[in-house]
Structure 1
Amino acid sequence: MRFSRRFIHSCLTSAAWWSGVAVSLVLYLLVTQIVEDKGRAQFEYKANNAQVAIQTRVQSYIDVLRGAAALFYTQDAISREQFHAYATQLHLQEGFPGIRNLNFALHVPAPQKDSFERAVRSDTSVDPQGYPRFETKPNGSRPHYHVLTYLEPMQGNARLLGFDLTSAPDTAEALAFARDNDQLISSGRTVNINGPDQHAGLAMRIPLYRRGMPIGTVEQRRAAFYGSVGASYDVNQLLRGAVDANTLRSIQLRLYDAGGASHPAPVLAAGITDPARLLYESDAAGGKRVRDGDMRDVFVKRVRMTVGPRLWEAEFSADKAAMVGGFERYLPWGVLATGVLGSVLLYSIYYSLISARRHAVELAGEMTKDLRDSEASLAEAQHMAQLGSWLLEPDSGKMTWSAETYRLFGLDSFVRRPAYDDFLNRIHPEDRGMVRDGLRKSITTGKELNIEHRIVRPDRSVRWVHAIARPGHQDRSILRGTLMDISERKQTVEALKRSQELLRDLTAHQDRVKEDERKRIAREIHDELGQTLLALRIDVSMLEARTAKSHPKLNERVRDALNQLDATVKTIRTIINNLRPSVLDLGLTAAIEWQVNEFRRRSGIACELVLSDTEYALDDERATTLFRILQESLTNVIRHANANRVLIELYRDGSRLVMKITDNGVGIYPERRKCGNSFGLIGVEERVHALHGEFRIDSAPGQGTVLTVFIPMETGGKRMDSRAA
């Protein structure tokens, strides 16, 4: 394309041209910011995912240590063989490669040291040869020892067997703190482990107390303390694979120890940079280390996370270029070039228009052709959308219909121009008055008419349409309107309603079947297993009485068996009550009182029950539904409400029975009500709807929650005075 000197001079002296250049520059800056914001959002998304992955991985490793501690509370003494079997089943090398070892350290007073060492040397439960060279390390006399007694895996860790943890003053102080406060402790900063397999190590320990002994005070915990369970972690192995490899190709990760959760290191704008606190550093993102000097080209995010008793600070960094694709990287310049070029082209068009008036007739012809094409496109669009349009002249009653309007009415065309009466006559008789009044109101007030109504075609078929009408913008004396065929949508809505009703009936049926099955299982357990255990207890009780004097050791074992039988019977009773509380057979009021007492005993939350002086004879389905709703509501109070007072009311309101549950907890946030996993509230609502009742929740953050259930009384149900009963 060649430009004349006159065109170039006119372009450079035109305000429109320079306005276009200014707009292009603004667009360049705007797109640059948009691209950077997109890259930042991508960086934030990957960093957040990496943070969650790290926390999940570390927590799973801490849970292994807590599981080992729980093992020692299953019985009074855990043998080396049991500890070995437990560690073997964990498959540490495959499932938790970051755990260097899992260990148990026994607290040994100085007078018991020699007997303790002899017992370990002769322990052949795992190794047939025992541990003949076992001794407490390092040498020296101390008032008490905390000796690593069990180690898994033993391979690679045998040198640690017998090590006294209290030989190091810092470790002894940390163990004393854990013992006195019943807390998980961590080694804090990393321990650089030397040797052929160098790694950054981290150790954590949990104190152990003898079963059955009180640990409410420091003195009681010291008396009950007998050892600890610990684990040593390789931080590199622990975090390997936790974060997605694709993420680490573009983002560099550094983890620092930020101190204890109770005494964290101060938060600095530049983050923690002390190399002594560095726990983990990923390979350089993109094959090179992210530049530390020029932070203008780097995204950086620092977050702190709680890891057991410690705080970790994670620093995520990435080159901005790595977060932006190649196309987007050059997009701002492309926008600038396109804007400048577009300004040139637009000005060329403008210049051509003002300098080529002779093309006006041709241009008018082209515009006429485009208008006809637009009309054809509009007709095609109306046909595809099943949307007809019309114009009404209220004074004369004359109308203009589009081709799609004729099709909606099932007509080809009129011989004459359609009139207002022709339009009304094709509306269903039951809807005709509504449409007529609506159109009249729209004409007189100028407001929009928006309704759904039926039309009748010449073949007597009925269709549903959505009608919109309003006065014209330019000429208020003309009424413009549209008709859209919504018959299929109406059918879909009706089918959906029927499906919801069927689904609700199915849910109610499932609840009834579930309750019946609970009754049957509870009855079977009570009649079969309960009687069997009762007979067994009688036999064991007789054996206990006969062996009291003649066989003391056997008598002690028999008493243990008798206690186990009593515990089993108590457990079975609890299971039966959970399946189907027998108190329901005494009436809804008695069942609610029992449940409230159980809630008070189990949660310690003050609960007030307000009942009328009457007992309502409800069928089993309604009584069970109200009881289950109460159970679910009180469970939610314990789990989520953080309340210290609950009020339960049960009364009659006309033909409906009302149960209202009020708490003074934290309330329910609006977004939590719509959460996809809030199945408890959904289940309560479905139970109520299945009985044609009403369910309400009134709650606000920090203002407690009021749950109200309205259940219709059974037709012909009787009301009995509980005092007369």
Structure 2
Amino acid sequence: MITARSIESDAQARFISHAKYAQSVINVRVKSYTDLLRATTSMIQSSDVLTHQSFHEFALGLNLARNFPAVDYINFAVQVTPERRQAFVDALRKDVSDIFGKPVQVDISPPGDRHSYLVVAFVEPIPPGVPYFGVDLMANRYFGNQLLQERDSGQIFSAGTPIPMLSRPNNIYLGMRMPVYRNGQPLGTVDQRRAAYMGSLGIAFSVRKLLHGVMDEVPVAGLRMTLYDIGPGMDEYGRATKGKPLVLFDSRGTTAEPTPAPDVGDDVFTTTLPLDFNGRPWQTVYSVHKSALYTEFDGYYPKLMMAFGFIGSVLLYALLHILTSSRRAALALAQEMTSELRESQTKLQLSHQK
């Protein structure tokens, strides 16, 4: 019993170590996305005039498919005032028409007059359709408020809201964004950052691709990873999720059943670890059947200990039996010798008396 508990304790320690390693890999990959945003921001700021060709060539140099396999798109949304709206739309139509090789009637969407616009004008790799261009990120009140906070703070942020155009069951796409300011402008105060604001740079990445890549590095068969966003926000339908964890990924999920019931029971190891995703509180639940952590020797070890214990008991009993038998034989021999000696003494005394 003690041996079995010791084996289970060692297996649990290995499981927790693997889970912490997986967390560290996630952190490293998220940091690489942050570095990607910063590098692209530097390129935009160093350009006197950003063109679709220069943005395209920079993206080709990044080689997203090889270096950032979970990142599907990188885009830049330009701040547009109502006075510049028509000129901006005309220029965007010309550029997008050149990209697709045919005339297109792209416009700012959703339609309507607003105080300002933050319009997606650059997308790489080239998307499959025109609707990827012209999207006004400020049209969503919740997301727009976060973009304003991003602009004023100068910090990278993630809304925690799945991207509707890309997300599917058990294949959630999330975005990371950071503000882009005009090069050489003072940024010490909120007013200065607002005056220097050019737009917002973002990436869209697949949580499933990200975490499958992480799990490939963890040598535990059958490991289950479930990632939750436990911060306030909205789902892809605009419904509030405050107080209700949003499942971003489940390694056991399928299209038909994205979030299977959690693993429970005495035969399961489980641990929950926190994760900070650029200000978004995430929570990762790892679980695995205990048998997956046991080695072949672990299965035989308790039986070997029982066998060794039994053999040891038999040998100890045999030793005690031999010692006891030897003592009895020695006592019997001593008693016999004593009797013979007494008998000899008696005979000797009788002979002297004659």
Q: Aligned to 1:119, which of 91, 96, 116?
A: 91
Following superposition, the deviation at residue 246 of structure 1 comes to 5.5
Measured against aligned partners, the alpha-carbon deviations of 1:288-331 in whole angstroms (never above 9, x if no partner) come to x897332x332222211222232321211122222112331342
Q: TM-score, normalised by structure 2?
A: 0.80
Match of 2:342 in 1: none
- What is the alpha-carbon distance in structure 2 between the residues aligned to residue 129 and residue 197 of structure 1? 33
Distance change >3 Å, CA 128–CA 198, structure 1 → 2? same
| Aligned equivalent of 2:221, options 245, 249, 265 | 249
The reply to whether residue 318 of structure 1 matches residue 288 of structure 2 is: yes
The alpha carbon displacement at 1:81 in A equals: 0.9
CA distance in 1, matches of 2:12, 2:100: 61
1:355 to 300, 304, 325: 325
Show the 5 A alignment for 1:629-648: none
Among 30, 34, 39, the alignment partner of 1:67 is: 39
* Paired residue secondary structure (2:214): coil
CA contact (8 A) 2:275 2:283 kept: yes
Paired with 2:174 and 2:166, the residues of 1 have a C-alpha distance of 14
1:180 corresponds to which of 124, 139, 152: 152
- What is aligned with 1:279? 248
- Could you tell me which of 323, 333, 338 is aligned with 2:308? 338
Letter in 2 for 1:161: F
Q: Which runs of 4+ in 1 moved over 4 A?
A: 191-198, 357-360
In the alignment, the residues of structure 1 paired with residue 7 and residue 14 of structure 2 have an alpha-carbon distance, to the nearest angstrom, of 11
1:100 lines up with 2:69 in the alignment: no
Q: Tell me which residue corresponds to 1:199.
A: 171
Determine if contact 2:96/2:104 at 8 Å carries over to the other structure.
no
CA 189–276 in structure 1, closer or farther in 2 if over 3 Å, else same:
farther
Amino acid paired to 1:277: L
* Structure 1 residue runs without a partner (length 5+): 1-27, 264-273, 361-725
Within 2, Cα distance between the matches of 1:339 and 1:117? 85
Paired positions, count: 315
CA offsets per residue over residues 374-424 of structure 1, 9 Å max, x none?
A: xxxxxxxxxxxxxxxxxxxxxxxxxxxxxxxxxxxxxxxxxxxxxxxxxxx
Residue type matched to 2:48 in 1? D
Structure-1 residue corresponding to 2:335? none
Find the aligned partners of 2:20 and 2:199 in 1 and give their Cα distance: 39
Q: Secondary structure at the match of 2:231?
A: strand
8 Å CA contact 1:290–1:317 kept in 2: the answer is no
Could you tell me how far 1:243 is from its partner in structure 2? 2.7
C-alpha distance 107-192 of structure 1, shift in aligned 2 (>3 A): closer
Give yes or no for contact 1:120–1:130 (8 Å, CA) kept in 2. Answer: no
329-338 or 174-183: bigger deviation? 329-338
Deviation at 1:199, TM superposition (A): 2.3
TM-score, scaled to structure 1: 0.40
- Specify whether residues 157 and 92 from structure 1 end up closer, same or farther in structure 2 by C-alpha distance, changes over 3 A only: farther
Shift of 1:62: 2.6
Structure with greater contact order relative to length (CA < 8 Å, sep ≥ 6): 2
Mapped to 2, the partners of 1:246 and 1:154 lie a distance apart of: 34
Query: In 2, distance between residues paired with 1:53 and 1:244?
Result: 11
1:26-45 CA-partner distances (Å, limit 9, x unpaired): xx42x223212221222122
Structure number, greater radius of gyration: 1
User: Which residues of structure 2 form unaligned runs of 5+?
Assistant: 234-242, 254-259, 331-354
Q: Percent identity?
A: 32
Deviations 1:82-105 (Å, cap 9, x if unpaired)? 111111111222332211211011
Question: Counterpart of 1:213 in 2: which secondary structure?
Answer: coil
Residues 1:45 and 2:17 are matched in the alignment? yes
Q: Among residues 249, 264, 270, which one is paired with 1:293 in the alignment?
A: 264
Q: 1:160 Cα deviation (Å)?
A: 1.7
Deviation, structure 1 residue 179: 0.9
Contact 1:76 1:211 in 2 (8 A): no
Which SS does the other structure have where 2:46 is aligned?
coil
- What is the rounded CA distance, in whole Å, between the counterparts of 1:198 and 1:42 in structure 2? 28
Q: Write out aligned runs for 1:136-535 (5 A).
A: 136-156=108-128, 158-191=130-163, 199-244=171-216, 247-259=219-231, 276-283=245-252, 292-294=263-265, 296-356=266-326
Counterpart Cα distance in 2 of 1:175 and 1:259: 17
After superposition, where does 1:610-649 map in structure 2 within 5 Å? none
